[in-house]
């Protein structure tokens, strides 16, 4: 959490890991986090079942690799918004630590605008990919013949949730950047 007293006093002594204003996790981030957890559990069950079946029954199911790959992609994309809400991404702080809290927040707003622009491009392209796979009837090249739009759907959903989480964080930073900058405390010259 940000030390609010330090921010109000204009202190630059904030640790690098606490520059981003904390944003409360909303329903979308919570839902994506829950889906990512369910996906990870499903992946553990599929792979664990494969390990047991190979070692005990001497049987291997050919769909394990395919389902495991789809589940890794789903877990990755569905967890993006949750990581953003928790401030889980690394940042380079060399420049930011030299800025005042308001200037840091203003820089963060600009950076979040760039990130939102990039994620909107990704959302557009992933949505086109899913739509193309759906309209063409693309299916996996394995004997399972899974329609590819089903596993691909996690990509635009996860990116859309990330866009919303980035926007929420950007507006929190914007409030900090536009906050009234308190005047510095008076200097006691009598001492």
Residue 102 bridge partners (DSSP): none
Q: How far apart are CA 115 and CA 113, in angstroms?
A: 5
Residue 121 bridge partners (DSSP): none
Q: What angle do CA 20, 114, 74 make, to 5 degrees?
A: 80
pLDDT of residue 7: 45
Note the Cα 102 to chain centre separation in Å. Answer: 24
Q: List per-residue pLDDT tens for the chain, 191 residues long.
A: 444 444 454 444 444 444 444 566 788 988 999 999 999 999 999 999 999 988 888 888 888 888 999 999 999 999 999 988 887 777 777 777 888 888 888 888 898 999 999 999 999 999 999 999 999 999 988 888 999 999 999 999 999 999 999 999 888 888 888 876 554 445 445 54
Helices (H), 80-100: 80-85
Question: Which tokens in the block code for residue 89?
Answer: 């991404």
| Strand, helix or coil for residue 63 | helix
Residues contacting residue 137 through CB under 8 Å, at least 6 positions apart: 147
| Contact call for residues 82 and 5 (beta carbons, < 8 A) | no
pLDDT of residue 181: 57
Q: How far apart are CA 21 and CA 35, in angstroms?
A: 26
Question: Which tokens in the block code for residue 144?
Answer: 């399972």
pTM as predicted: 0.76
Q: How far apart are CA 25 and CA 58, in angstroms?
A: 45
Q: How far apart are CA 106 and CA 45, in angstroms?
A: 45
pLDDT of residue 173: 84
């Amino acid at each position: 959490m940000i030390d609010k007293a330090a921010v109000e006093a204009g202190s630059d002594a904030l640790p690098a890991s606490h520059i981003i204003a904390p944003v409360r996790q909303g329903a979308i981030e919570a839902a994506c986090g829950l889906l990512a957890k369910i996906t990870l559990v499903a992946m553990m069950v599929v792979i664990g079942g494969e390990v047991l079946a190979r070692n005990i029954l001497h049987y291997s199911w050919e769909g394990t690799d395919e389902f495991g790959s789809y589940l890794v992609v789903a877990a990755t994309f569905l967890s993006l918004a949750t990581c953003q809400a928790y401030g889980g991404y690394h940042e380079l702080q060399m420049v930011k630590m030299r800025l005042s809290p308001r200037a840091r927040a203003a820089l963060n707003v600009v950076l979040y605008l760039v990130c939102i622009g990039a994620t909107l491009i990704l959302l557009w392209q992933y949505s086109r990919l899913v739509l193309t796979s759906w309209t063409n009837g693309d299916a996996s090249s394995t004997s399972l013949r899974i329609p590819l739009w089903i596993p691909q759907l996690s990509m635009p959903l996860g990116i859309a949730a990330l866009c919303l989480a980035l926007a929420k964080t950007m507006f929190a930073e914007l409030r900090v950047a536009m906050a009234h900058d308190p005047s510095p405390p008076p200097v006691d010259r009598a001492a």
